Each structure stands twice: as structure tokens, then as C-alpha cells.
Structure 1
Amino acid sequence: MNIDIICVGKIKEKYLLDGINEYKKRLLPYCKLRIIEAIEQKAPETLSEKEKVQVLEREGRDILQKLNPSSYIITLCIEGQPLSSEEMAKKLSDLMIDGRSHVTFIIGGSLGLSPEVKARADLSLSFSKLTFPHQLMRLILIEQIYRWFKIIHGEPYHK
């Protein structure tokens, strides 16, 4: 299976990069994983509502340009559907059985995702009602993808 993670911005923190690289290495037997970084727009706290919309639109355009048209799109949104690790593993397994060999996860920037990106999603997924920094969310998502594959293959890890 091919998995893309489209995310806004670059990660500079070594501890996050170390964790991401560890899980990327662990995922090698299960899938081909690509991380695609969209350009993060400057979004200071003092933005007006109009400026926030403009930032989301610019980030959204960049994200949409990076999508593989045949991919199953999963956006990570606080208002998305909450699924357990086992339910998400079943979802991935079902996609593979249905011949969907390409899945793209999308992580927005500090302001979230544009309505256009959300509208493109085949599934909107919520990891929690809590808000996470988008850089940390990348590590959390990659760990969960690894967990989902371990569950799919009946291998110990997910307990």
C-alpha cells in the first residue's frame, strides 16, 4: 500500500524528527510512506477573520495540488469521525481488499484545513476533541499507521 501524508510546514525539532524517522523505518515492511510538505503561511495571532480565510485558502490550494487523484483522502479534523485503532485498522484493511492501494492523510496547519480540502475528503478522522500542534500530529499519525498495520497483520504491539 502507498501512503502519503500531506502536512503543512516543516519540522525543525530534532525529537519529533527522530520519532518520525523511527516509525518510517518500522513501516518499511508494510507500506511505502511519503511525507509531502505544503507551504505553511504566516499566521500570527493578530490575523483578522478575512486574513485567516486567506491563509487557509492559500494552504488549501497547495495541499490540493499535491493530491494523487486516485487516492483515498483522509483529513484529520477535530470535527471528524472518532475511530478506535482497531476500527481504523479495519478501514485500512477494507480499502486494501477493495483494491484501493493509495491513501493520503492530510494534516492542516495551525488554523486547520480549508473548506475546499475538507470537501475533498473521503473520510474526516478525529484523533481527539483535544487540539494538538500540527508538527506533533505528524508523529502521532505515523505511530498510529504503524499500529494499524500491526493490528491488520495480527502482530503484537497494539495492546
Structure 2
Amino acid sequence: MKIELLTIGKNNFPFIEEGIQFYSLRINKYINFSIRYLPESKKLFNMPAGERQRREDEIFLREIKPGTFLILLDERGQQKTSLEFASFMQQLMNRGYRHIVFLMGGAYGVGEKIKQQAHEKLSLSRFTFPHELARLIFAEQLYRAFTLLKGEPYHHE
């Protein structure tokens, strides 16, 4: 199984990139994990939010292969505890999905096409985070999920 975080834009803060790399290396001890940063087009910066979402949806949809299990990371998605997220990941592995993509939209989120194609919608928190920080939080939670599944001493109740 391959798990991928698909996102638009790069990380502008070296300390966040270091944190993401820290967790990515550890996640890869359990499962094939990668992050794909799609380039952010400067042409989209001055567009109205709806048009920008539509254009970014097109970019994302070109990158999502048929048969991919798509999970949208969205502030309006379902919230899970760390234990519930670990259980969710176990269920996905049990179902035999070969490729799981967690998609994090741009600054204005995603449009209706992505929302309709997503198999699941998850929220990292009710707080609003900069995208760079949300990527780091996601990587940490994915690592935490796998340590929970393996019974390793990382998570404390």
C-alpha cells in the first residue's frame, strides 16, 4: 500500500520542512509514504476564490489515478481522535487499497469536483492552520496512527 499527501504550494519555513521530513522518515518504516507538492500557479493568485478552486481542482484531478482511494483533508470534514484515526487507517489497510491519497487543497480549499470525488472527508482540527503547519500536523498524526497500530510507546492516554 502507498499513502500520499497531495498538496499545492511549497513549504516556506525550513523548520516545518524539517519536521515533515522527521515524521516522513519514520512513517516510511511502516508503510510507503510520500508528499507531492504541486506547483502553485501565480496566474491563480488574483482570481476570485471560486475560479481558483475550479482551476486547482483540474490540477489535482490530473494527478489522481483511477482506483485511488481519495481522502479530502477539509475543515468541514469528520473529526477523529488519534485512536479513531489509527482504527480508520487499519480499516483502509484491511480493505486492501493499493493507493490512498490525502488531498489538502489550496488557500481557498477545493471545489465541488474534488468534494464529490472524495471517498472520505477528514478535518485535522476546528482550528485554522497555515497549510505548511497542517502538513506537519498531518504527518505527525499519520506517524502516531502507525505507532498505535504497532503497539509502540509513542502515544499516551
Answer whether TM exceeds 0.5 for this pair: yes
Aligned to 1:141: 138
1:36 shift after superposition: 1.3
* CA distance in 2 between partners of 1:119 and 1:68 (Å): 16
1:91 shift after superposition: 1.0
2:106 aligned with 1:104:
no
Aligned to 1:19: 19
Residue type of the alignment partner of 1:24: S
2:63 aligned with 1:66:
yes
Residue type of the alignment partner of 2:116: A
2:137 aligned with 1:115:
no
SS of aligned partner of 1:75: strand
| 1:57-99 deviations in Å (ceiling 9; x for gaps) | 1111111111132121111111111111111111111111111
* CA distance in 1 between partners of 2:38 and 2:96 (Å): 28
Provide the aligned length of Structure 1 versus Structure 2.
155
Gaps of 5+ in 2: none
CA contact (8 A) 1:95 1:101 kept: no
* CA distance in 2 between partners of 1:89 and 1:97 (Å): 12
CA contact (8 A) 2:12 2:132 kept: no
* CA distance in 1 between partners of 2:85 and 2:66 (Å): 22
* CA distance in 2 between partners of 1:52 and 1:38 (Å): 18
Identical aligned residues as a percent: 35
Aligned to 2:31: 31
1:30 shift after superposition: 0.7
* CA distance in 2 between partners of 1:71 and 1:158 (Å): 29
Question: So what's the TM-score if we normalise by structure 2?
Answer: 0.92
1:40 shift after superposition: 2.1
1:21 shift after superposition: 0.7
Gaps of 5+ in 1: none
* CA distance in 2 between partners of 1:89 and 1:69 (Å): 25
* 1:86 aligned residue (78, 83, 87): 83
**Consecutive aligned runs of 4 or more in structure 1 exceeding 3 Å deviation:** 41-44
Aligned to 2:155: 158
